[in-house]
Amino acid sequence: MAIRTILHYPDARLREKAQPVSTVSSGMTPEILTLLDDMGETMYAAPGVGLAANQIGVSLRIFVIDVASEDEPSNMIEFINPEILGRVGEQTWGEGCLSFPGVTEDIKRAATVTVRALDRRGKPFELAADGLLAVAIQHEFDHLEGVLMIDHLGVLKKRIVNRKMQRRGVSA
């Protein structure tokens, strides 16, 4: 396992739509399994609650999430080729993003989502989620579509976030 470099906004690779993972009847390839392990290690080291493959420069439809609190055991969920099947209700959550270090903004999202994906063995699963898990799934799914949290903000908030990123030494 290795900790990978997380891309920061405005890196153009964050805007690329990720490509589906080719599935194998016997499970995932060794390269995909290594990627999943590296993504988990990178997410925990950052630290964060989610990480999409394209945030580390790999344009594949994969993300990992662990919303367990510090006093709970880790519960990382791996999503390969995820599809959001349904969205219900509305909630606003103060979101951060590993590609926007130091930035937290209120983002409006669905309160409940249902997602279908493959696990590391290539087996399909469905999950209904609410609260932070629903937010994280939508946030990471957006990454796979090339959509960033800044895209959910109004013009003024976008300018503020751009300024914050410029102060960190990144021009937008």
Catalytic residues: 140
**Cβ neighbours for 3, distance < 8 A, ≥ 6 positions apart:** 38, 41, 42, 45
| Cα 140 from Cα 78, distance rounded (Å) | 11
Strand partners, 92: 108
Q: CB of 32 within 8 A of CB of 80?
A: yes
HSE of 28, CA atoms in CB hemisphere, 13 A? 23
- Cα separation, 141 vs 89, in Å, equals 18
Which secondary structure element, helix H or strand E, spans residue 33, and what is its range?
Answer: helix 30-45
